Structure 1
Amino acid sequence: MDNLFEKVKANLIISHDEDDELIIVFITSAIAYAESYQHITEGYYSENEMPATTEQAIIMLSSHFYESRDGSTGGFYADNVNASSQIWNTVNMLLRLDRRWQL
């Protein structure tokens, strides 16, 4: 998770360590969401390699959680009322690319 943590901080353009624990919580939540959305076992990504598209979805979703932690759209997209929906649509599209379909 260290590499993912560094990527999320870089995406957020954060150089301080005051919110590190909070960011880790958001990454953990985003990974749990991805595993659930992709119909894979909880903890799967702690033992298996994460595909690049899923990693990008985790980075985006973690960043969204951080920027919207006060309940607003927040962050870079604050002036766009559809920003939250756009982020969720993009995240879900990326996660669908790696989804494990049951036949």
Structure 2
Amino acid sequence: MTGNRPGIDEALRAMAEPRRRAILELVSGHELAAGEIAAHFEVSRTAISQHISVLKDAGLLVERREGTRRIYRTRPEGIDQLRGMLDGMWASSLDMARQLVEAERGLTDAEVHRAG
């Protein structure tokens, strides 16, 4: 459940918007200034600034200042938290699929462990 992991719900809500996911992709490999990010979209800089703020508040982006410029990059801890949750869900799904196949074949746990 996400309720026991602070920030995951907020991060998922932030990533639900396609432009925010695109912003995260843009800054995943390197830092970009706000203007450089905005140049990739056909919306106002103000709209992009709002998306950036949502991503920062969700713990997915980090900002640093370089003179008057604001430079952004992904926040690894925020991304890792999401990855951990998704990895756990994936592992559980794979385990459930394995159990269903084994049950369909009529295998018991003892037989599976002997074969493995």
- TM-score interval, smaller chain: under 0.3
More strand by percentage = 2
| TM-score, length of structure 1 as denominator length | 0.28
| TM-score, length of structure 2 as denominator length | 0.26
Name the structure, 1 or 2, with higher relative contact order (CA <8 Å, separation 6+): 1
Larger radius of gyration: 2
